[in-house]
Amino acid sequence: MLLDKNLIKHFSDYLRLEQSLSDNTIEAYCHDIELFRQYLEDSEKSCSITEITHHDIEDFFAKLYDLGIAASSQARILSGLKSFFKYLLQEKICEADPTMLVSSPSIGRHIPDVLSYEEIVSMMDCIDLSQQFGHRNKAIIEVMYGCGLRVSEVISLNISDVYAKDEFIKVFGKGSKERLVPIGNKTLHELMLYVKGERLHQDIKPKFSDKVFISARGTSLTRQSVFLLVKRLAEQAGIKKTISPHTLRHSFATHLIEGGADLRAVQQMLGHSSITTTEIYTHISDEYLRQVIMEYHPRWHSQNTSTN
């Protein structure tokens, strides 16, 4: 069987129907496999599935390296190829997995920027509640920081998934995995101010009647619109860090760890499948503690003071 677009389409259907992956993940995987297919075609190598070897895949990644593709992107592409060949084995389309002998590129551990609580408050203070969508925008920031949600989880949040009396929200994360996340009094207050006030005056299309956050067109918000909102508020607040909606999620987790929260509890609230992913926040917290002791402890402070 040839590695052609029909086979990639079958793989896409498998990811959607059997694995219940998100549309964004499926699109990324299929795009990466198409890159590999094009590489084989341009290199005039056989596109027969059974003839692909680990050498072909290593040559492909050498080409990506020469093109300046980042190690993190290479790792994601390899992950997509591994999933693809796992599917081919399962369907008995091929008998061996050539990705088994290919090592993932070393990407190191990137520690993201984190906002202080004061910086987050300053962003919310920049929102003019008298303007259209003011309460909606404040509720968005509150929910992202107060509940640690991904931007995709925020824009897909349903009113029927908000359990106000129990102070929980139901969240559908990656792979349509469901989890319950506590929602604090302040965050819930801002959310309900929008839902029971400003939102009632919006013209909402029937298909989106259960969505919490509604755009000016009466539909769900887009990821890009939330990204632009966060960037604009950060600029207005005079914050110079590299900011995105995910920064609020990072800040949520970091502040919990700094406050002494159990790592497993933070993992559950974030919806991480592996505790290893959550452990990055312990490294952020360690750096924070180091900065604190350097600034306030007299023995550390004296190291930076020259003696006469």
Of the candidates 135, 136, 138, 150, the residue annotated as catalytic is 150
> Is residue 92 annotated as a catalytic residue, yes or no?
no
Domain 5-101 has CATH 1.10.150.130: yes
Of the candidates 39, 45, 246, 288, the residue annotated as catalytic is 246
**Which amino acid is present at 27?**
E
pLDDT for 230: 95
> Is residue 281 annotated as a catalytic residue, yes or no?
yes
pLDDT for 299: 56
Q: Where are the domains of the chain?
A: 5-101, 117-294
Tell how strand 162-163 and strand 168-172 pair up: antiparallel
Of the candidates 170, 174, 231, 232, the residue annotated as catalytic is 174
pLDDT for 306: 44
User: Of 154, 153, 155, which Cα lies nearest the Cα of 175?
Assistant: 153
Of the candidates 29, 145, 194, 281, the residue annotated as catalytic is 281
- pTM of the entire structure? 0.61
Domain 117-294 has CATH 1.10.3720.10: no
pLDDT for 112: 67
Of the candidates 211, 249, 250, 255, the residue annotated as catalytic is 249
pLDDT for 178: 87
> Is residue 246 annotated as a catalytic residue, yes or no?
yes
> Is residue 249 annotated as a catalytic residue, yes or no?
yes
> Is residue 189 annotated as a catalytic residue, yes or no?
no
Tens place of pLDDT per residue across the chain (308 aa): 567 788 889 999 998 888 888 888 889 889 989 999 888 888 776 667 778 888 888 888 888 877 878 777 888 888 889 999 999 999 888 888 888 888 777 655 555 678 999 999 999 999 999 999 999 999 999 999 999 998 989 999 999 999 999 999 999 887 668 899 999 999 999 999 999 999 999 999 999 999 999 999 999 999 899 999 999 999 999 998 888 898 998 899 888 888 888 878 888 888 877 776 676 666 655 555 566 556 655 655 555 444 44
CA distances from 231 to 126, 159, 250, 297 (A): 12, 26, 15, 35
pLDDT for 58: 86
Same fold, 5-101 and 117-294: no
User: Of 231, 234, 247, 305, which Cα lies nearest the Cα of 281?
Assistant: 247
For residue 155, the surrounding DSSP H or E stretch is helix 151-155
Report the C-alpha gap between 236 and 117 in whole angstroms.
Answer: 16
